[in-house]
Amino acid sequence: AQSVTQLGSHVSVSEGALVLLRCNYSSSVPPYLFWYVQYPNQGLQLLLKYTSAATLVKGINGFEAEFKKSETSFHLTKPSAHMSDAAEYFCVINQAGTALIFGKGTTLSVSS
Amino acid sequence: DTGVSQDPRHKITKRGQNVTFRCDPISEHNRLYWYRQTLGQGPEFLTYFQNEAQLEKSRLLSDRFSAERPKGSFSTLEIQRTEQGDSAMYLCASSPGTYYEQYFGPGTRLTVT
């Protein structure tokens, strides 16, 4: 069965600092991986997706993620955090083309 | 593209009552999914439709839950004899096909008192 594990339920950074949210996956077949963001009182929004075309994936709002098969990782990064980045971030894997399997989420806090 | 819409946004009901939620997907998407999200957790898959056919149901979907998608357009999720454990955010998503990203609606927050 496929699964994702997000390391760290809460990450705090200062405005302008590097954002690094960690995700490891488990899959017996080439995975389809996503990062979704959930802002307070808003719906889930797709940040970026990996579909095997390129290992470095660029998403919206300056975020990117790198797929590393040898490490079974798909970490999310942003060079410089902004206050508006404060939200819940979910690493997600697509199970056999149907259900999305979500990690438990990482809450990102950004301080000024 | 008006996005996925859900109605109602909030529902408070007494234990034992039946509730029904509606989801309108993005019009050209043939796949529609239902998920449930409880506080502090990621969404969990409940069921999905391809057009009007319900193709998969999670073990989370007890006999009290039923979902339909008549004519392959909007979908409804009904919970009969609600229990306090049903309190959660119910999310609907749609996609244009297999392995595509799923687009989520704003959710319906259910509170069972």
Considering only CB atoms, A97 lies closest to which of B98, B101, B107, namely B98
Task: Report whether pLDDT(B25) > 90.
Answer: yes
Instruction: Dump pLDDT digits (tens) for B27-85.
Output: 989 999 999 999 888 999 999 999 999 999 998 889 999 999 998 899 999 999 999 99
Would you say how long chain B is, in residues? 113
Span of A89-93, A104-108, B94-98 with lowest mean pLDDT:
B94-98
CB contact (8 A) between residue A97 and residue B101:
no
Distances (CA, A) of A23 to A59, A90, B21: 16, 9, 33
User: How near does any CA of chain A get to the CA of B18, in Å?
Assistant: 25
Burial A10-22 (b: 16+ CB within 10 A, else e): ebebeeeeebebb
% of chain A residues with pLDDT over 70: 100
Q: Which two tokens stand for residue A66?
A: 């790198």
CB contact (8 A) between residue B101 and residue A44:
no
CB contact (8 A) between residue A34 and residue B101:
yes
Place of tokens 């955090």: A81
Place of tokens 């819940």: A88
Considering only CB atoms, A105 lies closest to which of B4, B42, B55, namely B42
Q: Which two tokens stand for residue A30?
A: 């080439």
User: Before B106, cis peptide (omega within 30)?
Assistant: no
Q: For residue B1, what pLDDT band results from cuts at 50, 70 and 90?
A: low
- Rounded Cα–Cα distance for residues A11 and A37 (Å): 14
Task: Report whether pLDDT(A53) > 80.
Answer: no
CB contact (8 A) between residue A100 and residue B103:
no
User: How near does any CA of chain A get to the CA of B11, in Å?
Assistant: 15
Instruction: Tell which residue, B78, B82, B80, B77, has the closest CA to residue B113.
Output: B82
Q: For residue B105, what pLDDT band results from cuts at 50, 70 and 90?
A: very high
Higher pLDDT, B98 or A99: A99
CB contact (8 A) between residue A102 and residue B99:
no
Task: Report whether pLDDT(A58) > 70.
Answer: yes
- Rounded Cα–Cα distance for residues A23 and A34 (Å): 10
Task: Return residues 8-47 of B near A (CB < 8 Å).
Answer: 33, 35, 40-45
Q: What is the DSSP letter of B44?
A: E
Distances (CA, A) of A99 to A2, B58, B91: 11, 9, 13
Alpha helices in A1-112 (DSSP H): none
The mean pLDDT of A48-60, rounded to a whole number, is: 89
Place of tokens 């049903």: B86
CB contact (8 A) between residue B48 and residue A99:
yes
B104 Cα distance to chain centroid: 10
| The pLDDT of residue A43 | 87
Considering only CB atoms, B102 lies closest to which of A51, A100, A104, namely A100
User: How near does any CA of chain A get to the CA of B33, in Å?
Assistant: 8
